[in-house]
Structure 1
Amino acid sequence: MTALRIANKPELLARTLTMLSETVERYDLFADQMEVVNNPQAAEIFRWLEQKQRERTQVVQDLSEGLALPHIPPWDYHWDDAINIEVPGHASAHYMMTPYHTLTLAIDVEQSAADLFDNIERDTELPEVRKLAHGFAREANAFCDYLKQKREHYPLPQAGWDEDEDPPQFLE
């Protein structure tokens, strides 16, 4: 993971808000996709994840109140959609995914976010950024642990879970 140097508290809050907002949008998109392909279990979990991320976004918005947050161009965010650093990539969902897969995807996202905030905490010399990053990492780790417990209620998918003898066809 590339080191991310944070200049100040408003920059960390701006980056965090963008990351959370993109995650909300992605979970909403995945839920819509799962509804279209008639996968209600995965859709329900994505909707739940979307709501949790909305709540977390509100907390960061509250922390940002009264601060002038910088505009950071999207190309300066330093996360790579292809490897799912902090936001679930577009290719992360499969139309036949099970609740186990859905929660595993969310666990990966939370672990990635926790790692990012741990790195920011370790690399900064600014006490207010260190404290905030520590709190964000702790919260991401706690949610990751909760998701792991929740995933235990679902069976581990068997090999071949994604085999479909009549896969969807795309019209040209």
Structure 2
Amino acid sequence: MTGSQIDSKVELLARTLAMLSEMVERYDLFADQMEVMNNPEAAELFRWLEKKQNSRTRVVQELSEGLTLPHIPPWDYNWDDAINTEVPGHSSAHYMMTPYHTLTLAMDVEQSAADLFRQIEQGSAVAEGQKLARSFAREASEFRDYLKQKRAAHPVPEAGWDEDEDPPLLLE
């Protein structure tokens, strides 16, 4: 099976829940990191993104009610590089990032998710799976567009925004 081939609605729901759960955890982690680094603006945005992902997770859980979903451990997403494209890596957040950067990161996540769900829609032989994937792709695209509008309220960072003459040191 490739990343774009999902054999059933339950498999699509299970994989979507796994991805959303990972996103919630990652946004929570980023928010914690920004709080520790005294970057309250980025922390607040990551908390807001975490809440949005939690809401989306609840919707998918409701769609899954009454179904027996297969357990998909995080290390076995089986979506090729999906975990790397739909979920930003630990190094994606910079302690000096601005709201512009935070929203750009989230926009990239939503674009990757929309692309993935479109691939799933095209690769699925199951009409119900195609319809659901199309719906998920549309939702991700709409949220990306909303984030883009929200980002427009923040200035584009100047070159050198990440230069710090006294960077934090990690103690071992």
Taking structure 1 as the reference length, the TM-score comes to 0.95
| 1:159 corresponding residue in structure 2 | 159
Counterparts of 1:80 and 1:128 in 2: how far apart (Å)? 24
| 2:74 corresponding residue in structure 1 | 74
| 1:51 corresponding residue in structure 2 | 51
CA shift at 1:79, angstroms? 4.9
Higher mean alpha-carbon deviation, 67-76 vs 124-133, is at 67-76
Change (3 A) 1:80 1:123: closer
CA shift at 1:74, angstroms? 3.0
Unaligned runs of 5+ in 2: none
Once the two structures are superposed, the pairs formed by residues 1-172 of structure 1 within 5 Å of their partners are 3-77=3-77, 78-80=79-81, 84-172=84-172
CA shift at 1:75, angstroms? 3.4
Counterparts of 1:140 and 1:74 in 2: how far apart (Å)? 21
Taking structure 2 as the reference length, the TM-score comes to 0.95
- Residues paired across the two proteins, number: 170
Counterparts of 1:42 and 1:91 in 2: how far apart (Å)? 15
Letter matched to residue 76 of structure 2: D
CA-to-aligned-CA distance 1:127-147 (integer Å, 9 cap, x gap): 000000000000000000000
Change (3 A) 1:148 1:18: same
CA shift at 1:5, angstroms? 1.3
Q: Percent of counterpart pairs with the same letter?
A: 74
CA shift at 1:89, angstroms? 1.0
Q: Which has the higher contact order (CA 8 A, sep 6+)?
A: 2
